[in-house]
Amino acid sequence: MQIDDHLFALLFEDTPVCIMILNVDGEVKFINKFGGYLFSCPKEQLIGKTLESYINSYNFGPSWDDLWQNMVKGRMQEARVEVGRGNNDDVICLVSSFNIENCPDCIALVFRDITQELKASEQIEKKNVEMAKMNTELIRSNAELKKVSELKSNFLSIASHELKTPLTSIKGYSDIIIDNFRDKLDSGIFRMIESINRAADRLHKVVNNILDVTRIEQKRLRLRPETFNLAVMANDCIEELSQFTLKRGITFKCHMESNPPSFYGDKMRMHQVFTNLFSNAIKYSPDGSPIDVYITTESENRFHIVIKDHGIGVDKAEQKNIFDPFYEVGSTNRHSTDYTKFMGGGTGLGLSIVKGIIERHGGRIWVESEGIKENSFPGSEFHVLLPIHSEISWDDDETKSLYFEDPRIIDPSELEEEQELMDEEVSILLIDSDREAVEIARMVLESAFDIHVAESGELGLLYAFEKRPSIILMDSYLPGLDGYRICRILRSQEETRNIPIAFFSAGTQNDEIQKCFASGADDFIVKPFSGRELVDKIWRLLMKKKEEETFK
Ligand code: ADP
């Protein structure tokens, strides 16, 4: 193909921009075909005309006259203008001017229709503004949500803390009555006390569950991993639940490999996972039905655990939600009937804790079920994928040694024997402003130990220096000098440096236990404590001190 003048002329005429040549007086000398279309007027009619009657300024910019004067003086290369088109819609054009070589008396103009481009960019601009608005709104509501969630977590944490203190009294007193007054009380009253004691245990469990949920939500669930056999643990949990399964004729069938690899994770937390999942399977199944538990090594590095029941099933729409805290499916009535009732209604916390623990171990949990069906039991399968060797480490080295010690449960009556081993009278200083906690501790301990009580930090310090007790038990929250400061002072003085110190702690606040250790304490006793636990802790601390003295 030859590119000749004719071809150029065609290109010039048909190109989709308006090209025109004007003389210095602004009269049109030449205009291409597209120019006629753009100005909506036969191009011949434009020849010899000036453009001011066709062109308006754009967006309150300069008039065509001013623009043209600048073009003539060679000062303006490009501007936006509005081209009026009579009966047709006006269009916005980008007009550029340039001089033509060898033609000093003329100026070439090119008009490019940018109406659609502008509309599109205006739309984008509008959308951008809307998005920016939505973004700001989102950031604001996110911040609000975070605040509400923090408030909720703090509220739960404080409420649980406050609940733990009266629980100490309820649990402590009822423990004491059960242990010591069985023969002296009317059997009806004794049963009521036992019922109070069980209710306190249930409430304690709920409070602990709420605390676990807040720990998970605030990403401060601490793990203490060790190596153990998951299948053995599953069997142990099933055994522990046998009082419920036997009563209701429910049977667990375990399908496990003969030699599974050891699991590396938090033993106590995994026990909680199995117990929750197994309890649910029992709770939501009819009497006499089987529950299958499969633990298989899926690949070299993960376990696949399935708990399959033949219970009421989980609606498909609810299968994600049931892992949210406080979420219970609407049909809970169905499992509260006598037919399927296990431990009464739940709190909707179990699965969210299970999910939190599994995810903290790097695993995942989901449920599969055909959904709830009238008058039938489609069942549910809870699936857990768990790395065999979770990439978790000890979060809290200071409590590691304590955690691994087997909690020995000592009957207070054994204390006298133990006392003899100590070769000296053991005296205990209790520093606590919570009278009821002091009273319970006193009732449990006074038969075997010499007890001194101080209700404030200052008095506690005074007694500590004066009496040099064998052990000090104190609360962290005290009027005046708080427990942590007292502990630091005692540790800094020669006379009191080696006295074992344990804190009473509700264990609910951020870093409370760390703060106990950081101030120099040897141990902590979480409220509500049982008499047996208290005695056990005291005994261990005394033995530790004795060992240290022997090896000095
Ligand atoms: P809850 O204390 O109510 O049992 P969970 O968090 O353990 O709380 O469970 C949340 C909800 O999930 C339950 O209320 C129940 O509706 C449903 N769910 C849990 N496990 C099962 C199961 N094995 N079969 C049927 N529904 C279940």
Question: Are 250 and 294 in a shared domain?
Answer: yes
Question: Are 386 and 283 in a shared domain?
Answer: yes
Q: Does 120 fall in a domain? A: no
Q: Does 129 fall in a domain? A: no
CATH number for the domain including 233? Answer: 3.30.565.10
Question: Are 531 and 389 in a shared domain?
Answer: no
pLDDT by residue (tens digit) across 337-360?
A: 444 444 445 678 899 999 999 999
Query: What is the b/e burial string over 51-67, where b = at least 16 CB atoms within 10 angstroms of the residue's CB?
Result: beebbebbeeeeebeeb
Mutate to test the pocket of ligand 1, among 244, 245, 276, 280 (most ligand atoms within 8 A of CB): 280
User: Along the chain (552 residues), what's the average pLDDT of each consecutive run of 10 residues?
Assistant: 74 88 92 91 90 87 88 82 87 90 88 93 93 93 86 76 79 86 89 90 85 82 87 94 88 91 92 94 89 91 94 88 81 46 64 94 94 81 92 52 33 45 74 84 80 90 91 87 91 91 74 83 82 80 77 62
What's the CA gap between 157 and 207, in Å, rounded?
9
Q: Please give the distance, rounded to the nearest whole angstrom, from the Cα atom of residue 412 to the centre of ligand 1.
A: 40
* Beta-bridge partner residues of 21: 30, 108
Question: Are 230 and 212 in a shared domain?
Answer: no
What's the CA gap between 337 and 157, in Å, rounded?
33
Q: Please give the distance, rounded to the nearest whole angstrom, from the Cα atom of residue 171 to the centre of ligand 1.
A: 28
Q: Does 278 fall in a domain? A: yes
Question: Are 39 and 15 in a shared domain?
Answer: yes
Which atom in ligand 1 lies closest to the alpha carbon of residue 347?
2
CATH number for the domain including 98? Answer: 3.30.450.20
Contact, 305 vs 386, CB < 8 A? yes
Question: Are 32 and 9 in a shared domain?
Answer: yes
Report the pLDDT value the prediction gives residue 400, as an integer from 0 to 100.
Answer: 38
What's the CA gap between 501 and 538, in Å, rounded?
9
pTM for the predicted model, two decimal places: 0.58
Q: Does 539 fall in a domain? A: yes
Report the pLDDT value the prediction gives residue 402, as an integer from 0 to 100.
Answer: 34
Report the pLDDT value the prediction gives residue 434, as an integer from 0 to 100.
Answer: 82
Is 309 near ligand 1, meaning CB less than 6 Å away?
Answer: yes
- The boundaries of the domain holding residue 387 are 225-394
Question: Are 180 and 98 in a shared domain?
Answer: no
Q: Among candidates 359, 358, 389, 402, which has minimal Cα distance to 226?
A: 389
Question: Are 301 and 167 in a shared domain?
Answer: no
Q: Please give the distance, rounded to the nearest whole angstrom, from the Cα atom of residue 280 to the centre of ligand 1.
A: 6
Question: Are 471 and 521 in a shared domain?
Answer: yes
Q: Does 242 fall in a domain? A: yes
Q: Does 118 fall in a domain? A: no
pLDDT by residue (tens digit) across 357-390?
A: 999 999 999 999 987 777 778 899 999 999 998 7
Mutate to test the pocket of ligand 1, among 205, 206, 316, 351 (most ligand atoms within 8 A of CB): 351
The pair of three-digit structure tokens given for residue 511, joined into one six-digit string: 């870093």
pLDDT by residue (tens digit) across 28-77?
A: 999 999 999 999 988 899 999 999 889 988 888 888 888 988 888 887 67
Sign of the Cα torsion 480, 484, 490, 492 reads: negative
Amino acid at 463: Y
Question: Are 203 and 262 in a shared domain?
Answer: no
Question: Are 24 and 153 in a shared domain?
Answer: no
Q: Does 100 fall in a domain? A: yes
What's the CA gap between 4 and 10, in Å, rounded?
10
Amino acid at 328: E
C-alpha gyration radius of the chain: 41
The pair of three-digit structure tokens given for residue 423, joined into one six-digit string: 């070769």
Query: How distant, in Å, are the alpha carbons of 49, 79, 89 from that of 120?
Result: 33, 19, 17
Q: How many domains is the chain partitioned into structurally?
A: 4
Pairing mode of beta strands 450-454, 251-256: unpaired
Question: Are 375 and 284 in a shared domain?
Answer: yes
CATH number for the domain including 177? Answer: 1.10.287
